[in-house]
Amino acid sequence: MAHPSQLGFQDAASPVMEELLHFHDHALMIVFLISTLVLYIIIAMVTTNLTNKYILDSQEIEIIWTLLPAIILILIALPSLRILYLMDEINEPHLTIKTMGHQWYWSYEYTDYEELAFDSYMIPTQDLTPGQFRLLETDHRMVIPAESPIRMLVSADDVLHSWAVPSLGVKMDAVPGRLNQTAFIVPRPGVYYGQCSEICGANHSFMPIVVETVLLEHFENWSFSMINNA
């Protein structure tokens, strides 16, 4: 969960999000160094004789400002491509969940179980209990086992939506008539919040996502009770 006056990202709750945070710090440091160099050159040009025409027409400087950006782009592109392919890998998932975006709620179907499906609506403000978060709590959470690869199949029933949980590093568009997929793994139990990240209509901000990660035995008990109560 984010907290008041927070400046950075939420704490990473998945290996993919940890890689994204590391890449963010890597790219931010490169941007900081570039900004510092440019600022130094601007100050030097204003306060010294750096604007001498022999320096500005130097062949060496032209070579440097051509090669340096190319090297910087390579330093950014290589780790970026690595993470991109890492996010696309789906190797023998233990559980597959299909989610459909509706105006304005999410529905979940556990394809590995028979008759395990439910809709997830936001809890109205007047119905919240102490400790629950406004605009983020749902009446039914998506429960998954910890330390298990999860495959998400994402689509929509009406308009464009986006299933996104920042702390898990997951954001997948829900497109009507198209089935997108993504995968993630959560190494520890916890509750993680997200929201639709596509402007889908008047109640776009009222279709939150709650992912609850539990131990495997607790997940089995939960799935058994949900099927029996269906």
Question: What pLDDT score was predicted for residue 76?
Answer: 92
pLDDT in tens, 132-190: 899 999 999 999 999 999 999 999 999 999 999 999 999 999 999 999 999 999 999 99
Question: What pLDDT score was predicted for residue 43?
Answer: 84
Domain of residue 104 covers: 95-229
pTM for the complete prediction?
0.83
C-alpha–C-alpha distance, residues 143 and 215, integer Å:
10
Give the DSSP per-residue string, 99-140: EEEETTEEEEEETTSTT-EEEE-BPPGGGPPTTPPTTT-BSS
CATH number at residue 153: 2.60.40.420
Q: Is the residue at 36 inside a domain?
A: yes
Q: How many structural domains is the chain composed of? A: 2
Write down the mean pLDDT value for the chain.
Answer: 89
Closest CA to 191 of 118, 130, 136: 136
Question: What pLDDT score was predicted for residue 131?
Answer: 87
C-alpha–C-alpha distance, residues 34 and 121, integer Å:
46
61 sits in which H/E element: helix 59-88
Last residue of one domain, picked from the residues 36, 60, 88? 88
pLDDT in tens, 73-113: 998 999 999 888 888 887 889 999 999 999 999 999 999 88
C-alpha–C-alpha distance, residues 36 and 147, integer Å:
42
Q: Is the residue at 173 inside a domain?
A: yes
Kindly state the percentage of the chain with pLDDT values over 70: 94
Compute the average pLDDT of residues 190-196.
Answer: 94
Token pair listed for 145 = 């086992």
Question: What pLDDT score was predicted for residue 230?
Answer: 64
Do residues 54 and 126 both lie within one domain?
no
Closest CA to 107 of 1, 27, 207: 207
